Structure 1
Amino acid sequence: MRQSSEPFKVESDDSMSDDDEGIFVSPTRPSESTRLPADGELTPTNLDPNGDAIVIIPGKNTSTSPAKSFRVSTHVLGLASKIFMQIFGPRHFSAPGTPRIRTIEGVHHRATLDDDDPIAMEVILGILHFKVPEAAAQMDARKLANIAIHCDKYNCTRVIKPYLADWFKEANTILPTTSILPSTGPTSVADDDSSDSDDSDSDDSSDSEDTKLSEQLGFLLLAAHFFRDEKQFKHFSKVVVQNLTPTFSAEWEKDALLKLLSRTMKSKLVDKVKKCQGYLRNDLESGISRLLGHAETHKVRGDLCGKCGVVYSTLPTTRECSDCEFTEFYPSYCSKDSRVGEYVENMKRFGLWSSKRFERCPVSQLTRKVAKLAENIFDDEVHECDGRDKCPLRLELTLLNKAFMKRSDSLEGISLFPLQKSRKRQRDEAN
């Protein structure tokens, strides 16, 4: 979905004489905020005190999209962009009936950009006039995406390019710094709900945070796309694959800006997420066959209840199981069957065994869970046998952790997709 290359709507007025009634606007300092009085008068921001045109951007006239107007130099804008040259060029403003607006200093040409975002245009017009507005110093992902879209619309990205590295860096700092997504599900035995049921709601507690993060990553990817920044696009597409689940595509379709990303692009990212999740799932399940390949047996500290299977490191003084009151205990061993059972039980406790819960976890979260599981298994309170560091279960979880980390780190982003340009846009840029 492309925005129109005709970025403003001209309201037809008759040629204005000095005696005609018109809208009066007074100049302000660049830092003075825009006001919208009841009579519709706008106080323009002086980007050029000697400017020959007033640009009015109505926006939605809300707190997030306040109406703004600017006194600009049509010569400066024309040098920055061919699109601006067509809008503010001599051919347009010399035509009969061209809209004009009267200020204290005199009569200025007027252009109303109805379809544009006021804050994004404030940044762009300010930079083109060597006056960086406050809005440019407080960057966030959505604002950056909006600026990128407008830079592409007016073909002036090359002028904005020196600011991009800092903007992307600042917008990126709002994202969580630890593995991007917050952990939702058990990360330790103490955090676990001891359930790996497909109906469990434990992974839904951070849905709002995950949705917000999904949108932020989408805006950053959108910004890189419209700025034509290959490096940033590859970086953020990799971050998307590492830290979002396949449902992000449906979430992006709900936002008007994110819908500008092509479905082919989103489909390719979803496929990469699913493919990586599939590899990790295969790594996890193949651990069982590897464990069954180790026939050695090691003595486990403690005794096993002959009825319920509870292992006691120290037998109760009553020599009676506190769970089932059974009185017969047997030596406990770390065998291939017990290792497989413990392996599966731990996967369930960390929400890794159910295929549905597995798919609801981003790659980064799956990697964190396995890393925590591999760390816990070396705790003697969790698993202690005579095999120590050579215990097949400990070795398998260590290998699984390395495999998950390697797959996550080796993920690559995708290359820039071409911009879809209308025939009219192509003609405009060619002129």
Structure 2
Amino acid sequence: MDGQFVEIQSLRKETHEPTTMLQLYPNGDAILVVHHRTKPSMKCLVSTTILRVASPYFESLFGSNFKEGAAVRQGECPEITLKEDDPEAMEIILSILHFKYNDKFSSLKPALLAAVARQSDKYSCNVALRPWISTWLSGIENVSDPKDIGLLLTAAYFFRSTESISTVSKGAVPHLNLDFDSEWSKHEMTAILPFEIKDALAGEISRVLDQIHLAIQWNERTLGSYEKSYTTDQKLCMKCGRLPSRDVRDDRCRRCSSEVLESLCTTETRIAAYFRCLETHKLWPSVQPFKIHTISTLEDRIKRVSEDREHRCSAGLDCPLYKVLWAMPETVAGIVADVNGISLDKLELDVMT
């Protein structure tokens, strides 16, 4: 065994391959060569007994029906190349299976977690890694970056965690616009997510956007139900429009000398003020904002609308316009709180290990 190990090391030096040897089991009986097209390869000295117990894939590979298993039983130490695998992800998986723990394994960034999940699924290691999977997926609720959301959803899918898929997708809805897949499709890891999952996610985003859009439009009807009028501190010139008090002198417009009238806060003026306020905060016309922005972005704008104090009338803060504006954030928050995560039971996808 020692001679074989040295021979492998010397071969690497002769060919100048950027390959590292990871000795996971001192008396290992096989070497896994993890090869990636862009990353340095890695060799791992492993125990086939441990791998066969941990994984049905390796149980089959090192069984009696494959030459790799025959080579091990004959006392050889075969080199087995695992093509197109992520070396860092495989290092984590193989190290954990061989009880070689490292503090850095406890918390993985989304990209690495997705890579680990994909490799774990490929080599049927999800059951053996279940305690670690629970740890990795326990802190993924408060993620807002669209790229990270896609990676975490990919990880949850390949780990076959129905609960985490629901959790990640529910948290994702406010932070993705309707065109999220155009970006995800550019990256290998997120592009491989099943269409059914992405379609269900887009459907839920669309449903929530429609509800918020309807709530904004419904406010026009709400404002129309208040018939009472109030005085304002402005005057109305038939030529110049509304005027502040400083532009009025002796009931005449200081700009054009026309007679001025009282400007009232009425049903019609409140509705007009409402839509001006929406326009000021880029929520009206409403078609485009709801096509391109995320729900969380729209929430922020609606919050700013609720804080708008441009309108003035004798009703003060009891003006129906303010009542409608102040209620908007709470209404939208209630809609967002009812977001549904993706239920794989409703999709025709087999995620069980």
Among all aligned residue pairs of Structure 1 and Structure 2, give the percentage whose two residues are the same amino acid. 28
Shift of 1:81: 0.8
Q: 330, 341, 348: which is aligned to 1:413?
A: 341
**CA shift in 2, pair 1:69/1:279, >3 Å:** same
Q: Name the residue aligned to 1:187.
A: none
Q: Deviations over 1:180-200 (max 9, x none)?
A: 3xxxxxxxxxxxxxxxxxxxx
Partner Cα separation in structure 1 for residue 13 and residue 318 of structure 2 = 75
Q: 53, 60, 69: which is aligned to 1:86?
A: 60
- Determine helix, strand or coil for the equivalent of 2:78: strand
**CA shift in 2, pair 1:227/1:418, >3 Å:** farther
Partner Cα separation in structure 2 for residue 171 and residue 364 of structure 1 = 18
Q: Name the residue aligned to 2:120.
A: 151
Amino acid at match of 1:348: E
Q: Deviations over 1:33-83 (max 9, x none)?
A: xx98743373311111221111111212x4xx3311111111111110111
Q: Output aligned runs, 1:32-431, within 5 Å.
A: 38-40=15-17, 42-60=19-37, 62=38, 65-89=39-63, 91-92=65-66, 98=71, 108-133=77-102, 136-137=105-106, 139-169=108-138, 175=143, 180=144, 213-312=145-244, 314-315=246-247, 325-328=255-258, 329-354=260-285, 355-376=287-308, 379=309, 382-416=310-344, 417=347, 419=349
Amino acid at match of 2:256: F
Larger RCO (CA within 8 A; separation ≥ 6): 1
Shift of 1:90: 5.3
Shift of 1:420: 5.4
Amino acid at match of 1:292: G
Shift of 1:123: 0.8
Shift of 1:342: 0.8
Amino acid at match of 2:342: I
Partner Cα separation in structure 2 for residue 242 and residue 164 of structure 1 = 25
- Determine helix, strand or coil for the equivalent of 2:121: helix
Q: Deviations over 1:378-400 (max 9, x none)?
A: x3xx2222212321111122233
Q: Name the residue aligned to 2:8.
A: 24
TM-score of the pair, normalised by structure 2: 0.85
Shift of 1:313: 5.4
Amino acid at match of 1:347: L
RMSD between superposed Cα atoms in Å? 3.3
**Contact 2:61 2:68 (C-alpha < 8 Å) held by counterparts:** no
Amino acid at match of 2:338: S
**Contact 1:296 1:336 (C-alpha < 8 Å) held by counterparts:** yes
Q: Which runs of 5+ in 2 are unaligned?
A: none
Shift of 1:293: 2.1
Q: Deviations over 1:336-374 (max 9, x none)?
A: 111111111111111212212222122222222112211
**CA shift in 2, pair 1:309/1:58, >3 Å:** same
Partner Cα separation in structure 2 for residue 155 and residue 419 of structure 1 = 18
- Determine helix, strand or coil for the equivalent of 2:20: coil
Partner Cα separation in structure 2 for residue 113 and residue 350 of structure 1 = 55
Shift of 1:305: 4.9
Q: How many residues align?
A: 345
Which one has the bigger helix percentage?
A: 2
Partner Cα separation in structure 1 for residue 153 and residue 231 of structure 2 = 54
**CA shift in 2, pair 1:253/1:37, >3 Å:** farther
**CA shift in 2, pair 1:386/1:127, >3 Å:** same
Q: Which runs of 5+ in 1 are unaligned?
A: 1-17, 27-34, 101-105, 181-212
